[in-house]
Structure 1
C-alpha cells in the first residue's frame, strides 16, 4: 500500500521544466502578436522606423519591444532575482539622445502588448510602462554566461530581413542549464501551419489571408513550436487569434521529423540570405550526397522548425571566415529537433557547446541538423571527403 501511495505521489508531481515551458510559450505567443502588429503598421505606414546595427543588419521596434516584454513576463513569473537572460539586442542604441522618437514608439508598443496580458493568462502591470521601465527591462537581459547554472536565451526577431519583407522569421526563447538547452520555443508568425502552403510565395499568401476567415488550423496564422529536454516529444500550436484566450495545454499537436533517410528523396534547407553562410559549398555538398529535390529556401531559425515538423530533412550551415555562431541562434532549435527525433551536431559529429558564453566556441567547421542518424552520417562523411576544397 505504501509503495502504491509513493507511486501515485510521484505521478502527480509536475514534470521537469513544465512550468518554465508553459511560461515560455505564453511569452512567445505574446511576442508574436506584438510582431504581427508592428509589421502591419510598418507595411501601412512605410518602413522608416528601422535602425542599422554595428553588424549592418536591421533592428526594428519589434526587436526591442519583444525583448522588454519577454523580460518582464519571465521576471513576473519567476521573480527578477531568479531570472538571468542573455539577449541579442543592446540597449545602448535606445539610450542615445537622438533615439527619443524610436524609444517612444517602443514604449507605446510594449504597453499595447502588456495591456492584453490577461488573454495569455498573465497579469497586467500595475502601471503603464514609461521609458525608465522599458529601458530597465531591456538592459536586464545582460546575464553572465558560464558552464553552470541556468539562464534564458532570447533572440527577439531572428531573421530581420524576413520580418521586413513579410517572409518567415522567428521569435526565439530557450532555457540553458549547466551548458545544455533544456527547453526551446520557436514562434514563427509567417510560417504556415500547413506544409502544402510552403510552395506559394509569401506575398500571395498574405493577399489570400486578407480574403479568408482564419480558423485554428489556417496556414496564415503561423505557428509556435516547442519542446523540453527528456520528453521525447515536440509540439506545434497555431498562433493565438486576436479574439481568443490562451489555454494551456493549447491546441498543440505533436510533431516529428521526417522518416526519409534516402538522400535522393530528401530536401535540405538553404538560407535565402547568402552573407552568413557558404551557399556554393552546401549546394555542392548536397549534390555529392545525391540530394535532387529543390531546396527549401528560408532564413532564420525557422529552418529548425522545418526539420522538426518534417518539411525538410537536412540543414547545413558553414560560417564564412571571421563569422562566429551565437548561442541564441541555435539553442532552442537544437532541443526541439532532438526531441522531435532528429540529430544536431557540428560537422565533426560533436554536440554543440553552449557553456562558453555568447558564442559556440570550439565548433568543428559548421552545424548539421538532420531528420535521422543515417542521413546525418552520410552528410558527415561527405563533409570530410570534400572539405579540403571548400575554401572556408
Structure 2
C-alpha cells in the first residue's frame, strides 16, 4: 500500500477535527479573556488549565474513537482527576456544554455529531480514553489539546497539536493555530529585550485570523488552510496552500525563535549560541508549537530550546510540529544532530541537550557546531 493511501483517512479526520476544535478554542478564549474567574484551574505543576483543554481532549477523543474504534490509542496531556472533583461541578458543566456545542457543528467540518447530547460521564470517559503511554509498536495518536496554555489565557498565541505515531515514527502532524494569521504582515510584535509574537486581531479581518497546518511523512509537502468562520463549510483539501521553509541560510539575516517561558528554558545559553553562530536579529519569543508553524511557513528560520536540568520534553509538545517542518523542507534534531525519538513513551528520552529546528541544513549544521563549542562553559 502506498504511504499516501495508508494514512489518507487518518489525515483527513485529523485535519477536520483539529480545525473544528480550533474554531471552538477561539470562542472559549474570547470569553476567557473577558472573564476567566471560573474557567481556569491549576494543575499539579501550577500551569493553568481551562475549559478549552478538557473540551478539546474530549472532542478529539470522542471523534477518533468513532472513526477508529474504542480501542484507539491516544496519548494526551490532561486527565480527569481535577474535573471529577465535587468542587469542579461548574467547570465540568461548562466543558459538557462546550463539547456538545462543538460536536453539533461537526457537519460544517465534514464530521458527524453524536446521535444524542453527551452527558458528564460520557465526556469524562472521552477525556479518560486518552490515557495511552505510546511505545515502539503500533499506532498512537498524540494530542496536546491546548499547547501554550499561558498564551491562551493571556489572549496570545497557542496551538492545538495532533500527531499520529506509527511504530515509533511520527507520520502525520496537524497544528491548529487559532491566533496565527494567514499572512505574516498581520503579525504583531511586542518590543522589549526580545520580541514576543502576538496577534493583531483588532486590525486583521476575521477571515485572516487563524490557520491549520498539516503534513504527512515522506510526502515532501506541508499545507496550510485558513480557519473557517460563520456558516462557511470546510473545503479540504481544496482551500489549502502549500507552505515551504525560508531560503535564508545567512545567520545574520535569520529570525530565531525560542519559548517565552523561562521556567524550563535556558534563554542565556540560547543567546550565547545565537551570538556564536552569527544570529544578529532579536530572538522572537513565541508561546507553543506556533514556533514550528513559523519555521514551516518561512516566517522564521531557527528554533532552539535548551531545557534546564531535570526537565523532560514530552512527545505531544513536538511530534506534530516536527512532521510539518520536515515536510516543508526543514530539519529538526536534538542538539547533537540526532533525530528525535518518539518511541519511548510520553517523554523524549535520550534527548541530547536540547532541540534545534531550522529551515535548512546549512543553518542547522552551524548551530549544532556552536552548541558543541559552547557546551563545556554552559550552566545547564
Q: Shorter-chain TM-score: what band?
A: over 0.9
What does residue range 227-242 of structure 1 map to in structure 2 within 5 Å?
Answer: 227-242=215-230
Given the alignment of the two structures, is residue 183 of structure 1 paired with residue 161 of structure 2, yes or no? Answer: no
- Cα deviation for residue 297 of structure 1 reads 1.9
Whole-angstrom distance in 1 between the partners of 2:347 and 2:98:
30
Identify the structure with the greater helix proportion: 1
Q: State which of 151, 160, 165 in structure 2 corresponds to 1:162.
A: 151
In our comparison, the structure showing a higher alpha carbon Rg is: 1
Q: Is the 8 A contact 2:187 2:200 kept in 1?
A: no
Separation in 2, partners of 1:53, 1:272: 20
Q: 1:161 to 1:150 in 2, by over 3 A?
A: same
- 1:287 to 2:289 alignment: no
- Report the counterpart of residue 76 of structure 1 in structure 2: 66
State the distance in 2 between where 1:38 and 1:250 align.
28
Q: Secondary structure at the match of 1:27?
A: helix
For residue 339 of structure 1, what is the aligned residue in structure 2? 327
Give the alignment partner of residue 316 of structure 1, picking from 304, 308, 311. Answer: 304
Task: Give deviations 1:107-153, integer Å, cap 9, x for gaps.
Answer: 01101111111111111211101001000000000114211111100
Between 90-99 and 175-184, the greater mean CA deviation after superposition:
90-99
Shift of 1:229: 0.5
Q: Which moved more, 1:37-46 or 1:338-347?
A: 37-46
State the partner residue of 1:7.
none
| C-alpha deviation, 1:204, in angstroms | 7.2
Bigger Cα displacement from structure 2, 310-319 vs 40-49: 40-49
Pairwise CA RMSD of aligned residues?
Answer: 1.6
What pairs with 1:171-210 in structure 2 (closer than 5 Å)? 171-200=160-189, 205-209=200-204
* Shift in Å, 1:38: 0.8
- How far 1:203 sits from its partner (Å)? 7.4
Count of residues in Structure 1 that have an aligned counterpart in Structure 2: 374
Taking a change above 3 Å as real, the CA distance of residues 384 and 21 of structure 1, as seen in their structure-2 partners, is same
Distance 1:265 1:306 in 2: 16
Q: 1:120 aligns with which of 109, 115, 121?
A: 109
Who is 2:14 aligned against? 24
In 2, Cα distance between equivalents of 1:364 and 1:166 = 33
Taking the TM superposition and a 5 Å limit, the aligned residue runs for 1:341-380 are: 341-380=329-368
The alignment partner of 1:237 has SS state of strand
TM-score normalized with structure 2 length: 0.95
1:105 counterpart residue number:
94
TM-score, reference length from structure 1: 0.92
Q: Which runs of 5+ in 2 are unaligned?
A: 191-196
Contact 2:302 2:356 (C-alpha < 8 Å) held by counterparts: yes
| Alpha-carbon displacement from aligned partner over 1:68-127 (angstroms, at most 9, x marks no partner) | 00011111122223x110000011111112111111110011011111111111112111
Question: Is the 2:302–2:357 Cα contact (8 Å) retained in structure 1?
Answer: yes
Q: Secondary structure, in 3 states, of the residue corresponding to 1:377?
A: helix
Hey, what's the Cα distance between the residues in 2 that align with 1:104 and 1:389? 52
**C-alpha separation between the residues in 1 aligned to 2:350 and 2:33?**
41
1:357: how far off?
0.4
Q: Which residue of 1 aligns with 2:295?
A: 307
Deviation at 1:207, TM superposition (A): 2.3
Local SS of the residue matching 1:80: coil
By how many angstroms is 1:44 displaced? Answer: 3.0
1:329 aligns with 2:303: no
1:60 aligns with 2:55: no
Equivalent in 381, 384, 389 of residue 369 of structure 2: 381
Which blocks of at least 5 consecutive residues in structure 1 are unaligned? 1-9
- 1:248 aligned to 229, 232, 236, which one? 236
Q: Which residue of 2 aligns with 1:6?
A: none
* Inter-CA distance 66–231: structure 2 relative to 1 (3 Å threshold): same
